[in-house]
Amino acid sequence: MLYLVGLGLADETDITVKGLEVVKKASRVYLEAYTSILLVDQAVLENYYGRPIIVADREMVESNSDEILREADKVDVAFCVVGDPFGATTHTDLVLRARELGIAVKTIPNASIMSGIGAAGLQLYNFGQTVSMVFFTDTWRPSSFYDRIKENRDVGLHTLVLLDIKVKEQSLENMARGRRIYEPPRYMTVGQCASQMLEIEEERKQGVYGPDSLAIGAARVGGRDEKFVAGTLKELCETDDALGPPLHSMVLLGRRAHELERDYAREFSVNKETWDKLWTQYYGKQ
C-alpha cells in the first residue's frame, strides 16, 4: 500500500501516532521536500522515527514517481508530507498514478497551515480562497493572486497568502546549459510579500487593498516559537525582524471580521492605536 502521511507543521513530534506506526513499518520512507519544509533537519526526523528517509525533491515527485511507487502493490511505502498530504495538488496526482497501477492508497491526515492559521485569532469559516505569492523577478511578476483576493474581499472574507519557497532550484543559465547546479534555498518573508502586493495594487489600481489595509503576518506556525504580527500592509513591510526566521505566511483581513478577532489580534499589533482606529474605520464601532 502507498501511505500518504501528514507530518504536521513544525518538528519531528508533530506526526500522529497512526502516522508514526506507518513510518516505522514501511519498507521505504520518502520525505517530500519542496512544497514546504519542517523546522528541523532530516537527521532529527530519522533519529526520532528510527528509519532512514529518502528525500523526494520536485524532480522525483513530478517526473520519477515510478520509483516512489515501485512495488507498492507488494510492500508498504510511506510518502511523508509536511502539513497535510493534500495541501498540494502534486500529491493528488501521485494518488491518481497509484490508482492506475492498481496500488491501494491510504491517507494519514495532520494539521496544515490551512487550519493552523487559526492561532492568529481569526475564525476559519471567515476565510475565502487561499492564494500563493511567488518571488518577483525583473521579467516575471505574476498577479493572478490579485483577482482571487478581490473575489474574497468582495464577499468580505479573509485571504490566506502562502509565501514562496525556493528549494533545490536552478538558475535559468544553469538550466539552459543542463548543469545540475542549484541555488541556495530562499524563503519569502512577510515584508517581501506585503511589498509585492502593494506594487500590484499600484499597477491594477482597483482598490482591492492598500497601504492601510489590515493584515496579520505569521511565522513558524505550530512551532515552539510561532510568532504573529498584526498591522497595516505598510507596517508589515517592515516587520521581518520581529517575525524572525522562516517559514512565513500572511492573512489579509476581510470585512466580515468579528470583534473577537479584533480583540485577539490586537495583542500582537504593531501599533494598537492605529489598529483600533483602522478597525473602527473599516469594520464599524468597537
pLDDT digits (tens, 9 = 90+) for 5-49: 999 999 999 999 999 999 999 999 999 877 788 888 899 999 999
pLDDT digits (tens, 9 = 90+) for 210-230: 999 999 999 999 999 999 999
Confidence band, pLDDT 50/70/90 cuts, at residue 236: very high
Residues annotated as binding site?
9, 84, 87, 112-113, 163, 221, 248
Is the domain spanning 2-111 CATH 3.40.1010.10? The answer is yes
Where exactly are the structural domains of the chain? 2-111, 114-283
Q: What is the mean pLDDT of the chain?
A: 91
Confidence band, pLDDT 50/70/90 cuts, at residue 65: confident
pLDDT digits (tens, 9 = 90+) for 129-169: 999 999 998 889 999 999 999 999 999 999 999 999 887 66
Identify the CA nearest to 217 among candidates 228, 205, 207.
Answer: 228
Checking if the pLDDT of 248 tops 70, the result is yes
Over residues 191-217, mean pLDDT: 97
- Fold for 114-283, please state it: 3.30.950
Confidence band, pLDDT 50/70/90 cuts, at residue 60: confident
pLDDT digits (tens, 9 = 90+) for 262-271: 999 999 999 9
Residues annotated as binding site for S-adenosyl-L-methionine?
9, 84, 87, 112-113, 163, 221, 248
Report the pLDDT value the prediction gives residue 286, as an integer from 0 to 100: 40
